[in-house]
Amino acid sequence: MATDLNKSEIFDELKTSADLVSDAAALGRKLAPDIDRIYFVGCGAPNRIMLGLEYWCQRYSATLEVRRYFPAEIMAQDPERLDGRTLVLLGSKSGTTPETVAAAEFLRDRPAITVGVTQTEDKPLARSVQHVFLIGETSQAHAGMFMIMQAFMGGIWSAKDGWQFERELLESLQALPAALADAKANNDDRAADEARLYKDDRILYHVASGPMFSTAYVFGVCVLMETQWMHSYPIEAAEFFHGPFEIVDKDMPIVLLLGEDPSRPLMERVDRFCKRYTERLIIYDSRDFAMSGVAQEIRPIVAPYILQSALQRIAERLAVWHAQPLSTRRYMWKTEY
C-alpha cells in the first residue's frame, strides 16, 4: 500500500475529461431550447456530484425546474412531468450500476431526453442513453465526471439563462486537473499528521454546507465508511443545530469543510460552535488553496473537488495505518444485495 504521490498521473488520468469539456458545453447549448426541466439520476458519488449541480442550477437558472433522484426513486415515483421537455442526466462510474442502468432502460419508454456520463462505450449505461460522454478508464472518475457534467450544465445556463461565465468555467475546468494535483501534493505533510492523529478513531463526523456537502458525503461515506469501515458520516450545516450538535464533546473528532459559495455563513456558525466545545477539529477551508488557473467566479463551483483531492491524501494514509487498502470491500460486488 504505497503512499507515493504522482502529480502528473492525476493530470494524465483526467486528460480525456478535459478534452471533452468543450463538447459537453456545446451539447448543453444545443439541447437548452428544448428543455424546461432537468432531472439528475445517480447513486453514491455521482448523485453527490449532482447535488452540486442542483445547487448551482437553482442559483443560476430562472427558467429551469431541477430535481435530483436516486435511480430506484425515479422508477418508483414515475414522475408525471417526465415528458419530452425533460432532460435526464444519468451518471455511473462503472456504467454497470444496476439501479442506474435500470433507470436508463426505464426512461427508454418515456419521451425524455437522456444524457449519460460513464467510462467506456461497451457498458450498459452507454448503450441505454441518447447522448453519452465517456471519460475513459481512470482512477480520477469522480473529478472526471464532474468536469463533464459541469461543462454540460454551463452550456445550458449560457443558452437558457444568459449565464455570463461559460468561458471562465470552461477555462477553469481545463485548469482543474493541475489544481487538483497541487491541492493533493501540497496537503501531503498535513495529511500524514492527521492520519497519524486519527488512525485509532472509529467515529468521525463531517460537516459541510451547500455544494461542499458533496465532499463531506463522498469522503465520509464513499471513502472512509465504504473502504475503511469507519463510522464516518456527513452532516449538513443547516441541520447541525437541530439535533446533531448534541454529540459534540471535547473528545469527539469532527471534520469541518468550508467553501466559498453563498452557504458559507452556515459553516462559519458551526465552526464557531465547535471551536468552543471540542479539541479535536480538522478544518479545511477552500480559501486556503491557490487553485491556479481557476477564475475567481468559478472557485465556489470547483472548491468541493479541491478539498476532496486534499482529503484523499488523508484516506490514503489511513489505509496504510489500518493495513486496509482503499480497494477493500466486505459486501460490495461480492454478495447478493
- Over residues 110-132, the mean pLDDT reads 97
pLDDT digits (tens, 9 = 90+) for 272-318: 999 999 999 999 999 999 999 999 999 999 999 999 999 999 999 99
pLDDT digits (tens, 9 = 90+) for 101-118: 999 999 999 999 999 999
DSSP 195: H
H helix intervals, the chain:
7-13, 15-31, 44-60, 71-77, 98-107, 124-128, 141-161, 166-186, 188-198, 213-217, 226-228, 237-240, 264-277, 299-321
List residues bridging with 22 in a β-sheet.
Answer: none
Which grid cell is 228? 475503511
For the chain, the residue count is 337
What rounded mean pLDDT belongs to the chain?
96
d(CA 16, CA 11): 10
CATH tag for 192-321 (out of 3.40.50.720, 3.30.200.20, 3.40.50.10490, 3.40.1170.10): 3.40.50.10490
Q: How many CB atoms lie within 10 A of CB 332?
A: 11
Q: Please give the pLDDT value at position 27.
A: 98
Q: Please give the pLDDT value at position 126.
A: 96
Q: Please give the pLDDT value at position 3.
A: 66
Residue 5 clears pLDDT 80, i.e. is over it: no
Residue 227 and residue 328 in contact, taking contact as beta carbons nearer than 8 Å: yes
Give CATH for domain 7-164. Answer: 3.40.50.10490
Q: Please give the single-letter amino acid code of residue 72.
A: A
Start-to-end CA distance of the chain, whole Å, equals 29
Buried b (16+ CB within 10 A) or exposed e, 198-233: beeeeebbbbbbbbbbbbbbbbbbebbbbbbebebb
Whole-model pTM?
0.95
Same fold, 7-164 and 192-321: yes
- Over residues 225-232, the mean pLDDT reads 96
pLDDT digits (tens, 9 = 90+) for 157-187: 999 999 999 999 999 999 999 999 999 999 9
Q: Please give the pLDDT value at position 2.
A: 47
Q: Please give the pLDDT value at position 8.
A: 84
Q: At what angle do helices 166-186 and 299-321 cross, to 10 degrees?
A: 20
311 backbone dihedrals φ, ψ, rounded to 5°: -65, -30
Q: Please give the single-letter amino acid code of residue 335.
A: T
Locate the domains of the chain by residue range: 7-164, 192-321
Q: Please give the pLDDT value at position 49.
A: 97
Residue 160 and residue 61 in contact, taking contact as beta carbons nearer than 8 Å: yes
Of 6, 326, 28, 38, residue with least CA distance to 173: 28
